[in-house]
Amino acid sequence: MRRALNLAALGVDRTSPNPLVGAVVLDAAGELVGEGFHARAGEPHAEVGALAQAGARARGGTLIVTLEPCSHHGRTPPCTEAVIAAGISRVVVAMADPDPRVDGGGIARLRGAGLEVIEAVAEAEALRLNRAFVHRVRTGRPLGILKWAMSLDGRTALANGQSQWISGPDARAWVHGLRARCDAVIVGGGTLRADDPLLTSRSRRDPEPLRVVLSRSLDLPDEAQLWDQAVATTLVAHGPMSGPDQQEREARAAATCALLDRLGVDRLELGSCEPAPLLEALAARGCNRVLWECGPDLAAAALSQGCVQELAAVIAPKLLGGLAARTPLGNLGLEGMDQVQPWRAHERRDLGSDLLWELESLESPAVHPGSFTVGVGSARPGSAG
């Protein structure tokens, strides 16, 4: 299973909306005869690749796969049928597929066909590997990461708004890699107006993550790096176009809409201009993981609406000071220290002279380093089919 999980990880950054899956086929004598992983949505599933490699040697053998084989027709035919047709006699599965179209149906189908199925082998590791996919399937929203860079005194800009650069080049390169691990990067209209960001992974991901602007006013600049659709795709999301204050901003909003249409920038009208409906729309577009790179008010709204499961704070060894200087978060409406939820420290490391501290919501599944000790041999007997 460790090998299958490593294979699964080869598809990282490219399988959304699908999960990462790896598979290994052993012949009847226990010898490795096939390997496969899911490389990209629309391409063959991991099991199919591993079975094809094994050919006739799969007969009477064992399939070890990180995710329950699918039993439904999607963009590819059901994997259960390919497993049965290959003559596999035993299937070892790390985790059930939370997709409601599968959800145990694949395992039931295999058992119904007389195959032995061993479940929940290295399940915690498999869940962690696919935590963004699992979160999206369970909640209907992509997993959200909130990232910011600040000084040691908690400032994201000087009093005059200057913010480039608080963190050093190593930290900025790390952010490019972080974007490559996400399907979309979200800012608000204020960040677009103030910083004119590029928001790409600098070609570390192909295609680049979707760049999303959530704009209440649609008062957006005529010139912006985000408007260049040759670099990466941009989506401008906004609230209902008709509203009480619509009249006064109508002209500006209409001009922006015309500009976006002319530039080929996608537009999306949400039921309300809030983080939660935006994430639901992005989940429907196949996003498993999104990155919030926004200002304090949108960040606070995203947190308050349960749209953030992971934090990534870059802390620079500098002091900016200033009561008017910007800070990472707006009002969370907390009135007592007992309402403050701690986050679980995940990783901490140096990025040049800056410090990166990554944390996770206590609701996320935790996997402690070194807990990966299970293999086929240690499958829990109680969970064997």
**Footprint of its own copies (CB under 8 A):** 150-155, 158-160, 162-166, 296, 300, 303, 311, 313, 315-324, 327-337, 340-345, 348, 353, 355, 357, 359
Cα 171 versus chain centre, distance = 20
Nearer to its own copies (CB atom), residue 353 or residue 383: 353
d(C-alpha 1, C-alpha 324), whole Å: 54
Nearer to its own copies among residue 284 and residue 362 (C-beta): 362
Least separation in angstroms between residue 351's CB and its own copies is 12
The CA-to-CA distance between both ends of the chain, in Å, stands at 18
Under 8 Å between Cβ of 128 and 369: no
What b/e readout covers 23-44, taking b as 16+ CB neighbours within 10 angstroms? bbbbbeeeebbbbbbbbeeeeb
Sign of the alpha-carbon dihedral angle for 186, 14, 38, 378: negative
Supply the minimum distance, in Å, between the C-beta of residue 353 and its own copies.
6
Distance CA 58, CA 141 (A): 38
- Cβ at position 337, least distance to its own copies in Å: 6
Q: In what order do the strands lie in the sheet with 32-37?
A: 32-37, 22-26, 62-67, 90-95, 116-118
Report the residue number, 183 or 274, with the smaller CB distance to its own copies.
274
Which of the residues 31, 35, 43, 47 is marked catalytic? Answer: 47
In 26-67, alpha helices (H): 46-54
CB nearer to its own copies: give 151 or 288. Answer: 151
Query: Which of 124, 1, 14, 131 minimizes the C-alpha distance to 66?
Result: 1
> What are the tokens at 365?
């599944």
Output 46 or 359, the one with its CB closest to its own copies: 359
- Give the C-alpha distances (Å, rounded to integers) separating 261 from 234, 254, 255, 325: 12, 11, 10, 36
Distance of closest approach, residue 352 Cβ to its own copies, in angstroms: 11
Overall size of the chain counted in residues = 385
The distance of closest approach from Cβ of residue 375 to its own copies in the complex, given in angstroms and rounded to an integer, is 32
Nearer to its own copies, 55 or 322 (CB): 322
Minimum gap (Å) between residue 171 Cβ and its own copies: 13
Nearest alpha-carbon partner for 92 in 10, 26, 12: 26
Q: Between 296-304 and 275-284, two packed helices, what is the crossing angle to 10 degrees?
A: 70
CA dihedral sign, ordered 196, 166, 359, 13: positive
Least distance CB 238 / its own copies (angstroms): 24
* Residue 47 bears catalytic tag: yes
Q: Which two tokens mark 224?
A: 């912006």
**Amino acid occupying residue 306:** G
For the CB of residue 332, give the shortest distance to its own copies in the complex, in Å.
3
Q: Which is nearer to its own copies, 148 or 174 (CB)?
A: 148
**Dihedral of CA 120/74/56/35: which sign?**
negative
User: 381: cis peptide before it, omega within 30°?
Assistant: no
Choose between 4 and 146: whose C-beta lies nearer to its own copies. 146
**Hey, which residues are catalytic here?**
47
